[in-house]
């Protein structure tokens, strides 16, 4: 283990050098320090040199709410998704992490593994987009990413919807979505910046009529600390918030 201290730009540059020498580096830090602070080095030391690494972040969007905005990174997945060649995993339960990590270690490409204190009650061990509850053919199709599954399930428990789970968001499982979707309404629930995967969904369905509702962390900054649960509710990512947004979406149909 190499501890470079609070110098995340250096951490990524060192990882790039190790990768050039044939090592498989694993980098870990809080999400804003793992992604936002060293973004240029991620782009150049790893991406431009076309070497592999496993980038692991903790604290996700607002797990460290008591630490303030410096420790929050709802933009991280959107940033990494702008760079070519990255696989992005957003596991929804601790039991899903080990398999993803071992798989990542056995590869040579660039992988971002986003960890969070938020967790679903049970793991979902599946590759790609997985339907966990099937509704009618014309029912809204709700995609819950990572740890949003339980809240999405609770918010739609009495509605006729198809509920699907997704933990690998890049590359986006376009084939899985096309195969599973039978209607036109898609609701995307992401535990980071709202709309991060909207373009991927639109591209997957570019030849089909569809309506998309993108839920996630809202862009306006919350300037009070609060608890993670309070942040989740303020962004409409708890069961009540998801249900309210979905009801409004369906009324507007």
Query: Which tens digits make up the pLDDT trace of 153-170?
Result: 999 999 999 999 999 999
User: Is the previous residue joined to 171 through a cis bond, with omega within 30 degrees of 0?
Assistant: yes
CA distance 178 to 181: 6
Task: Give the Cα-Cα-Cα angle 184, 120, 65 (nearest 5 degrees).
Answer: 100
Is 90 exceeded by the pLDDT of residue 237? yes
pLDDT of 206: 96
- pLDDT grade, residue 127 (50/70/90)? confident
Average confidence score pLDDT of the chain: 96
Q: Which burial class, exposed, middle or buried, applies to 219 when counting CB atoms under 10 A from its CB (0-12, 13-18, 19+)?
A: exposed
* The token pair that represents 190 in the structure block: 């992401």
Is 80 exceeded by the pLDDT of residue 253? no
SS (H, E, C) 30-77: EHHHHHHCCHHHHHHHHHHCCCCEEEEEECCCCCCHHHCHHHCCCCHH
Query: Which tens digits make up the pLDDT trace of 158-216?
Result: 999 999 999 999 999 999 999 999 999 999 999 999 999 999 999 999 999 999 999 99
pLDDT of 4: 83
The model carries a pTM of 0.96
Give the DSSP H/E element, type plus range, for residue 10.
Answer: helix 8-20
6 DSSP 8-state letter: S
C-alpha torsion 153→154→158→161, nearest 10: -20
Sheet holding 162-166, edge to edge: 130-133, 162-166, 141-145, 185-193, 211-217
């Amino acid at each position: 283990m190499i501890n470079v201290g609070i110098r995340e730009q250096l951490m990524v540059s060192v990882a790039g050098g190790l990768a050039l020498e044939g090592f498989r580096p694993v980098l870990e830090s809080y999400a804003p320090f793992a992604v936002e602070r060293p973004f240029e080095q991620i782009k150049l030391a790893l991406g431009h040199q076309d070497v592999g690494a496993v980038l692991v972040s903790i604290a996700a969007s607002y797990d460290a709410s008591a630490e303030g905005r410096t420790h929050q990174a709802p933009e991280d997945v959107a940033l990494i998704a702008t760079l070519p060649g990255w696989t992005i995993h957003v596991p929804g339960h601790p039991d899903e992490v080990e398999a993803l990590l071992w798989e990542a270690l056995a590869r040579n490409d660039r992988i971002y593994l986003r960890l969070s204190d938020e967790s679903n009650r049970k793991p979902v061990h599946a590759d790609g987009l997985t339907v966990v509850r099937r509704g009618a053919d014309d029912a809204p199709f709700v995609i819950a990413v990572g740890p949003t599954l339980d809240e999405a399930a609770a918010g739609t428990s009495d509605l006729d919807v198809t509920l699907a789970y997704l933990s690998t968001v890049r590359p986006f499982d376009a084939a899985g979505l096309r195969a599973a979707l039978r209607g036109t309404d898609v609701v995307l629930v992401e535990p980071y910046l709202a709309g991060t995967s909207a373009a991927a969904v639109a591209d997957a369905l570019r030849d089909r009529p569809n309506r998309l509702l993108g839920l996630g962390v809202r862009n306006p900054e919350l300037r009070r600390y609060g608890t993670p649960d309070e942040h989740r509710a303020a962004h409409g990512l708890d069961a009540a918030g998801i249900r309210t947004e979905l009801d409004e979406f369906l009324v507007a149909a």
